[in-house]
Chain A
Amino acid sequence: MPRWGMVIDLNKCTGCSSCVTACRMENNIPNVGVEEAQNGRAMNWMEIITEYEGEFPNIRITHIPRPCFQCDDAPCVVVCPVHATFINEDGLVGQIYNRCIGCRYCMNACPYTAKCFNYSTPEIPEAFVPLQNPEVTKRMVGVVEKCSFCHHRLAMAKDLARYEDREMAEDEYQAACVESCPTTAMTFGDLDNPDHEVHHLKHSNRAFRLEEGLGTEPKVYYLKKEDK
Chain B
Amino acid sequence: MTDIRQETDYTLFRPILETEKSFYWIVATLLGIIFWAGYMYINQIIYGLGVTGLNNTVSWGFYIINFVFFIGISHAGTLISAILRLSQAEWRRPITRMAEVITAIVLLIGAVHPILDLGRPDRILNVFLFGRLQSPLLWDVTAITTYFTASTIYLYVPLIPDIALLRDKTDKYKWFYQFLSWGYIGTEKQKHILERAMTILMVMVIPIAVSVHTVISFIFSMTIQPGWHSTIFGPYFVVGAIFSGTATLLVVMIAFRKMYHFENYLKEIHFQYLGLLLLIFAILWGYFTFSEFVTGFYGNEPMEMSVILYKFTGPYAVFFWLMVVLNFIIPVVVLGFKRLKTIKGILFTSMGVIVGMWLERLIIVVPSLSNPRLPYDVHFYIPSLTEVSLFMGGIAVFCLGFIIFSKLFPLISIWEIEEGRNEGLEEAQKRLESYLPSVEQVK
Contact = CB atoms under 8 A, between A and B. Distances in A.
| Genuine A/B complex | yes
Interface of A: 36, 39-43, 49-51, 64, 66, 75, 78-84, 99-105, 107-109, 111-113, 115-121, 141-144, 210-211, 214
B130 to A, nearest CB: 5
Interface in B44-58: 47-50, 54-58
A17 to B, nearest CB: 15
Nearest to A109: B223
A111 B225 contact: yes
A74 to B, nearest CB: 11
A118 B127 contact: no
Quick one: which of A78, A82, A99 has the most chain B CB within 10 A?
A82
A191 B329 CA distance: 57
Given A78-B135, A79-B137, A81-B135, A113 B57 contact: yes
Interface stretch (B200-208, B350-358, B370-378): B370-378
A100 B126 CA distance: 8
A1 B127 CA distance: 32
B332 interface: no
A109 B224 CA distance: 7
B275 to A, nearest CB: 38
A40 B379 contact: yes
Given A81-B127, A113-B56, A40 B377 contact: yes
Interface residues of B, number: 44
B376 A142 contact: no
Nearest to A101: B123
Interface in B218-233: 219, 222-225
Interface in B124-168: 124, 126-127, 130-132, 134-138, 141
A145 to B, nearest CB: 11
Contacts of A36: 50
Contacts of B375: 49-51
Interface of B: 47-50, 54-60, 114, 117-121, 123-124, 126-127, 130-132, 134-138, 141, 219, 222-225, 369, 372-379
Given A40-B379, A41-B50, A117-B56, A82 B127 contact: yes
B373 A101 contact: no
A105 B59 CA distance: 9
A40 B380 CA distance: 9
B56 A107 contact: yes
B63 to A, nearest CB: 10
Given A81-B137, A104-B59, A142-B48, 17 more contacts: A79-B222, A80-B135, A81-B132, A81-B141, A82-B127, A82-B130, A83-B132, A84-B126, A102-B49, A103-B117, A108-B223, A108-B225, A113-B376, A117-B54, A118-B119, A119-B50, A121-B47
A47 to B, nearest CB: 8
B118 A142 contact: yes
A187 to B, nearest CB: 22
A142 B49 contact: yes
Contacts of B141: 81
A42 B56 contact: yes
Q: Report, nearest first, the 9 A-B pairs whose CB atoms are least far apart.
A: A102-B119, A142-B119, A40-B55, A40-B379, A120-B50, A119-B50, A81-B135, A141-B48, A81-B137
Given A101-B124, A105-B137, A112-B373, A118 B48 contact: yes
A78 B56 contact: no
Contacts of B56: 40-43, 107, 113, 115-117
Main secondary structure of the interface of A (DSSP, over half): loop
A111 B119 contact: no
A41 B55 contact: yes
A101 B120 contact: yes
Contact of B374 (A75, A113, A116): A113
A111 B372 CA distance: 7
B170 to A, nearest CB: 47
A105 B119 contact: no
B386 to A, nearest CB: 12
Given A40-B379, A82-B130, A83-B130, A143 B138 contact: no
A51 B375 CA distance: 7
Given A82-B126, A101-B126, A107 B135 contact: no
Given A81-B127, A210-B374, A102 B120 contact: yes
A39 B379 contact: yes
Contacts of B136: 79, 105
Contact of A107 (B59, B117, B126): B59
Given A78-B135, A101-B118, A120 B47 contact: yes
Contacts of A42: 56
Contacts of A115: 56
Contacts of A121: 47-48
Contacts of B119: 100-104, 117-118, 141-144
B131 A119 contact: no
A98 to B, nearest CB: 9
A79 B222 CA distance: 8
B206 to A, nearest CB: 28
A142 B60 contact: no
Quick one: which of A39, A105, A115 has the most chain B CB within 10 A?
A105
